[in-house]
């Protein structure tokens, strides 16, 4: 039995029958009752704690499916394995309705972490600080856009002269943000790889960067990274919780945050996309 199997026994209380390494950080393990789980390793205790707390918080909304957490410590997280299938129109509409219900479950404030979740969390491999605020435009600028813009400038990914366009957008956010909305319960890292179309015909979300935020940010990220059957997802969402007028014109504003995160992590092409959406939003 490997070290990962030992971890599963310790965290779940179940014996291990089989295991299969998926990557350096992920292992698929079959338990003695034939349930299959994923064992995930992280070298940062904050990341493991944030993911476990985020999954439990999202599950508490009883809406969108997320993997059950079977145990975790400072290094390891054990969750259900999701058997993947193919996207369908019916699943997309149901996902949209469930996503609207998740957002409607709410959060104490913009930036609020999940209960028992750390303030210093992660979005993917990038640090993400969950400082709370009551005014979305100010909070979004101060805690989601500008920190990553500064890091991108420090790295040379965004040139110092280019940063001004993003800074101008932040100054104008109160007029660009649309009608005020209450804090929504966000998955927070909803790119297509974290949206699993399960074999049973439902959608399951994995790897959250959960926090309180604006619901349009989750939806904008789905569009940014190419969610299958997105228009049907939006149909289901609008049936359950119609978006405020002008939401389509605000997509770029909400995409600015994930684009700058990706610029920090992956380089210049994402910086160019961030600058382009900022210029487009300012021109409206």
Domains and CATH numbers, the chain: 3-80 (3.30.200.20), 89-283 (3.90.1200.10)
pLDDT for the residue numbered 49: 94
Distance CA 113, CA 118 (A): 7
pLDDT reported for residue 2? 61
Model confidence band, residue 3 (pLDDT cutoffs 50, 70, 90): confident
pTM for this predicted structure = 0.94
CA–CA distance, 209 with 54 (Å, rounded to integer): 7
pLDDT category at 101 given cuts 50, 70, 90 is very high
Residue 1 has pLDDT above 60, yes or no: no
Rounded to whole angstroms, the Cα distance separating 251 from 254 reads: 5
DSSP string, 76-132: EEEEEPPPB----HHHHHHHHHHHHHHHHT--SSBTPPPTT--SEEEETTEEEE---
User: Which of 80, 98, 189, 207 is the catalytic position?
Assistant: 189
pLDDT in tens, 116-147: 999 999 999 999 999 999 999 999 999 999 99
Is the Cα torsion angle 39, 41, 45, 48 positive or negative in sign?
Answer: negative
Q: Tens of pLDDT along 208-230?
A: 999 999 999 999 999 998 899 99
Is 189 noted as a catalytic residue in this protein? yes
- pLDDT of residue 175 exceeding 90, the answer is yes
CB 98 within 8 A of CB 63: yes
Say how far apart CA 81 and CA 155 lie, in whole Å: 37
pLDDT above 70 (res 6): yes
Question: Does residue 237 carry a pLDDT above 90?
Answer: yes
């Amino acid at each position: 039995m490997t070290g990962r199997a030992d971890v599963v026994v310790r965290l779940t209380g179940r014996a291990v029958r089989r295991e299969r390494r998926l990557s350096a950080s992920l292992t698929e393990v079959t338990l003695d009752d034939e349930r299959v789980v994923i064992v995930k390793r992280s070298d940062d205790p904050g990341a493991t704690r944030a993911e476990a707390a985020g999954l439990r918080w999202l599950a508490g909304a009883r809406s969108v499916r997320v993997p059950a957490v079977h145990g975790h410590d400072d290094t390891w997280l054990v969750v259900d394995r999701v058997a993947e299938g193919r996207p369908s129109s019916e699943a997309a509409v149901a996902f949209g309705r469930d996503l609207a219900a998740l957002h409607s479950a709410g959060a104490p404030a913009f930036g609020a972490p999940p209960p028992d979740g750390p303030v210093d969390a992660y979005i993917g491999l990038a640090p993400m600080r969950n400082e709370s605020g009551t005014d979305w435009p100010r909070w979004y600028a101060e805690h989601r856009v500008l920190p990553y813009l500064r890091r991108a400038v420090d790295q040379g990914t965004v040139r110092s002269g280019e940063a001004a366009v993003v800074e101008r957008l932040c100054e104008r956010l109160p007029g660009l943000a649309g009608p005020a909305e209450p804090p929504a319960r966000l998955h927070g890292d909803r790119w297509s790889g974290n949206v699993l179309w399960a074999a049973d015909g439902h959608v399951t979300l994995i790897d959250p960067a959960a926090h309180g935020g604006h619901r349009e940010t989750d939806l904008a990220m789905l569009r940014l990274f190419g969610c299958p059957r997105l228009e049907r997802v939006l149909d289901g969402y609008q049936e359950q919780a119609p978006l405020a007028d002008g939401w389509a014109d605000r997509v770029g504003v909400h995409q600015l945050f994930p684009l700058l995160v990706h610029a920090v992590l992956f380089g210049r092409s994402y910086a160019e996309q961030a600058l382009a959406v900022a210029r487009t939003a300012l021109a409206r």
